[in-house]
Chain A
Amino acid sequence: MTVQTVIETRVKGLTFATIPAGEGLAKALAMPRGDIIDLISDSKLKGRGGAGFPTGLKWNLAAAEKRTPKYLICNADEGEPGTFKDRVILTDYADLVIEGMTIGARAIGAALGLIYLRAEYAYLKPHLEEVIEARRGQGLLGKNIGGVDGFDFDVVVGLGAGAYVCGEETALIESLEGFRGEPRNRPPFPVVSGFLHRPSVINNVETLAWVACILAKGAEWFKSSGTATSTGRKLFSISGDCARPGVYEFPFGITIAELLEEVGGENAKAVQVGGASGRCVPRSAFSRRIAFEDVPTGGSIIVIGPGRDMLEVAHNLLEFFVDESCGQCTPCRLGNAKLLEGVEMLMEGTCTSEYLHDLRALCNTMQVASKCGLGQTSSVAFCSILDSFGDEILGHAGRVR
């Protein structure tokens, strides 16, 4: 083939490049199990997938469960539009991720780890399996890991099949069990009853890699960057209208303006933070900080240049959700389609202001009444575009009757 598979993602400033695998696990194996969780809790590490649940707390809950076997699942279903940092991590630092899984398994007492890899990344499966096999060879997976008597843990790779919703942890479990990827009722949460009804911890790829780093370098090191509530550094997937897209690492608390300067997107008119399910931040709010307490994100930053039509942006994002909703609960199943229809009416100039008002109210219902995170967030971007770019949208001749 003359046209080669091109994966040349620009990568800048990654801590993972400076921490060799092995160190974290060695330290973890020398500690009592409870201390591992304490260390992670102390670091205040929060889930890097976007929801930001404290990892230490999640592990503590799973560790407290008596039922066995327990499972540790690595969520590598990176489907959020605009995010690709997990792909980079899995390509270059899979060792760290699997080490993080092993440490987590040690902490909660998991017997088996599963990596749920999205179908779009199927080409990474052989690579991951090589890394796993190599670790088995080194005695870092399998029986009596690291010479610790009775510490058995292994990792298998499961492949997704093309469904964004499977990034939702309970949908992911359904998918692993061979069902349609439809989120479950929560509670009970997976830490109590997850894969095959057993206590299961689901962590994002990046979270697990940070776990290995925190074990290696300590909680203080981790906390030395970031903000008080959003500690540490974070990988960002930068794409869209900027000069230098790629994967960057920044401490939490960075302002959007600072971030844009780094990536060459200073003249942006807006930034879609957090992917399709995130919010659209207009230029006037670029002084906001990226952190769980201000503008949260799983790391997806799509820069929207000055020439872009915001209604087109909303249309594209809603098309995505209309395609990817699991179709289980009413608000999400039908709501997204109604919003998309509304955007199309706006484009044609057939949407009355009264109907637009109805749609705005529907967004609120979708956000509070949907069964899972997908439905609760799918209308956020549309709402923020309406709020920030109302004049642009309504200003177009004939857009609102």
Chain B
Amino acid sequence: MALITERDRLREDVIAIAELTGFNRSSLIPILQEIKAKYGGIDSYAMQLIADVLDIHPVEVYGVATFYAFLRPETEGRFVFRLCRTLSCEFAGKDLVARQLREDLGLEFGETSPDGAFTLTWTNCLGMCDQGPAMLVNDRVYTQLTPAKVRTIVDEYRTLVEEQGVERVSERAR
């Protein structure tokens, strides 16, 4: 009997999603979303595997993953902080919030913390323009941010990471 490797597990995951959404190209984005949510990134093997399951080319998976801001293949932290940089949030003072985030997370925009806990990144309009500055942390939205609020939010996520580690819990119901 062979050992069940990470790769086998990945294959099971991909096939499980495809069973729900269909073994066709339309399933590509849902699959990438699930794999990204579960593993934080989409590595070389995962892309080839998905291509194999959907009968497309790995480079096409790569092309799609790099097209969408939420599907970036590189591994991101367990919690991804996306701060809106669009006009209304800029008017509302996103620069100050950005500074606080950089300081509290100890990250520049575009960076992921070495422990795999946090990623800090810019995003475009979150549709929270009336309550800027706004940001998303994974699927959760925070509005009317102030430096003080940022500090509290970051502290809470740090506590969460200390308690639970950086392993992802599936946050999105299948």
Contacts and interface: CB of A to CB of B under 8 A. Distances in A.
A83 interface: yes
A70 B32 CA distance: 27
Nearest to A156: B21
B69 interface: yes
A293 interface: no
A3 B152 contact: yes
Contacts of A7: 128, 131, 141, 143
Interface in B107-121: none
Interface in A219-245: 237-241, 245
B149 interface: yes
A82 B87 contact: yes
A159 interface: yes
A298 interface: no
Interface string B121-160: 0011111111110001001111110000100110010000
Interface string B52-71: 00100000000110011111
B86 interface: yes
A175 B29 contact: yes
B173 A276 contact: no
A10 B131 CA distance: 10
B25, B27, B124, B172, most chain A CB atoms within 10 A: B124
Contacts of A239: 88, 91, 129-130, 132
A150 interface: no
B74 to A, nearest CB: 14
Contact of B124 (A3, A81, A160): A81
A72 B78 CA distance: 36
B54 to A, nearest CB: 8
Interface string A237-267: 1111100011100000000000000000000
Contacts of A272: 87
A123 B139 contact: yes
B63, B125, B152, most chain A CB atoms within 10 A: B125
Contacts of B128: 7, 84
B33 interface: yes
Contacts of A355: none
Nearest to A166: B68
A84 B140 contact: no
B75 interface: no
A162 B141 contact: no
A316 B127 contact: no
Contacts of A9: 130-131
Interface in B1-42: 24-30, 32-33
B130 A1 contact: no
Contacts of A164: 124-125
Given A126-B173, A179-B28, A239-B129, 18 more contacts: A1-B156, A5-B140, A6-B131, A6-B144, A9-B131, A84-B127, A84-B129, A86-B127, A118-B127, A119-B69, A122-B172, A158-B29, A162-B68, A162-B69, A178-B24, A272-B87, A300-B129, A305-B91
Shortest beta-carbon contacts, A-B, top 9:
A162-B69, A161-B68, A178-B28, A239-B129, A162-B70, A245-B130, A178-B25, A239-B88, A84-B127
Interface of A: 1-3, 5-10, 78-84, 86-87, 118-123, 126, 158-164, 175-181, 196, 237-241, 245-247, 272, 276, 300, 302, 304-305, 308, 312-313, 316-317, 319-320, 323-324, 326
27 contacts: A1-B156, A5-B141, A5-B142, A5-B143, A6-B143, A7-B128, A7-B141, A9-B130, A81-B125, A83-B125, A86-B127, A123-B141, A161-B33, A161-B70, A163-B69, A175-B29, A178-B24, A178-B54, A196-B26, A237-B130, A239-B130, A239-B132, A240-B129, A276-B86, A276-B87, A302-B129, A319-B85
